[in-house]
Structure 1
């Protein structure tokens, strides 16, 4: 398969893989994943993103952080819900926390910085797929709790955009409906 075909396959066939197991991506795969992330569109060259990798025992600590943050927001949370939150980071061997690092700029509004960080996340997903690594971008309420952001060490100008879970995909590939571009594209006639 030539390079163009491989790229188009990645762009048109990538699907989220919710069931992931060991092994996670190795150091070289992660390097390529982050190299791709850093090629996202970036008006003003602000590089409005940063990433944290979470592996091994740090996943247990992240689960505890999720539980503490959720209980702070919802003190009446059931014990079962708290335990479920603790287990969320264990669904994959590697997690990447996606952080938008917002900066004051006269020509680059916050919205463009969020879009740039989102494009970096999309590049992560495609780079993982191209290397045979399963990936899924997950958010959920815990991604938006102030306690989660504080526990991860985010600054006041930073926003957590969720986590990309990475690992070896298991189980059947999710069937995704084939979409027709004509259903979403139309010429503007002024």
Structure 2
């Protein structure tokens, strides 16, 4: 894809996250979705543990996901109002494609849990990069559903945790640039101290 360093730098500089509610069809077809996840497998993974996995929620399953999210939300927040339940419904229905990324820690005497969590985050970021290569946009969302054990149990079981609801599609409008940290606030030189 990249003929020179300028092309690669331009690619990185143009990747943007997109709000799932601002995504429209088309999304990745099954072959592109498989390729996106296959490319994400090239994630740093100390010990070759693959402490992550992706669950595709098909568009035909979104009404069921909406129902399950609302039921789980009401079980935890019995006084939830209409707007909160509508938010759960929309959460389930955003964007053409949805991947639920699970952090799946592995027992290891050598690889710390923290390194496995970092690998899961890198896997998520690689999905966003791979989607961009395929000329789609992505949005990495968490929120209440990501921290609910009941919701996690729709896709896996403890000790797994939901790392991301990864929405993929096409932008309804060009994604907006957001403020970025100042480079000099992030990059420093070690003084030997």
Q: TM-score, normalised by structure 2?
A: 0.91
Whole-Å separation in 1 of the counterparts to 2:11 and 2:130: 8
Give the match for residue 13 of structure 1: 14
Give the match for residue 69 of structure 2: 66
Asked if the contact 1:68–1:147 (Cα under 8 Å) also holds between the matched residues in 2, the reply is: no
Give the match for residue 47 of structure 1: 50
CA 1:7 to 1:55, structure 2 compared with 1: closer, same or farther past 3 Å?
farther
CA 1:40 to 1:66, structure 2 compared with 1: closer, same or farther past 3 Å?
same
Report SS of the residue matched to 1:45: coil
Give the match for residue 166 of structure 1: 168
Give the match for residue 189 of structure 1: 191
Do residues 105 (structure 1) and 95 (structure 2) align?
Answer: no
Whole-Å separation in 1 of the counterparts to 2:131 and 2:185: 28
Report SS of the residue matched to 1:183: helix
Whole-Å separation in 1 of the counterparts to 2:112 and 2:62: 34
CA 1:64 to 1:10, structure 2 compared with 1: closer, same or farther past 3 Å?
farther
Asked if the contact 1:103–1:157 (Cα under 8 Å) also holds between the matched residues in 2, the reply is: no
**Of 88, 91, 107, which residue of structure 1 is paired with 2:91?**
88
Shift of 1:52: 0.4
Shift of 1:155: 2.1
Whole-Å separation in 2 of the counterparts to 1:91 and 1:40: 27
Shift of 1:179: 4.5
The answer for unaligned runs of 5 or more in structure 2 is none
Whole-Å separation in 1 of the counterparts to 2:158 and 2:171: 35
Give the match for residue 33 of structure 1: 36
Q: TM-score, normalised by structure 1?
A: 0.92
Report SS of the residue matched to 1:29: helix
Give the match for residue 122 of structure 2: 119
Whole-Å separation in 2 of the counterparts to 1:115 and 1:3: 29
Write the deviation string for residues 112-168 of structure 1: whole angstroms up to 9, x where unpaired. 11110110000000111122101100111111111101122x122211112110011
Whole-Å separation in 2 of the counterparts to 1:171 and 1:11: 19
Asked if the contact 2:100–2:162 (Cα under 8 Å) also holds between the matched residues in 1, the reply is: yes
Whole-Å separation in 2 of the counterparts to 1:67 and 1:10: 39
Q: What is the root-mean-square deviation in Å for CA atoms of aligned residues?
A: 1.6
Point out the more displaced range, 21-30 or 90-99: 21-30
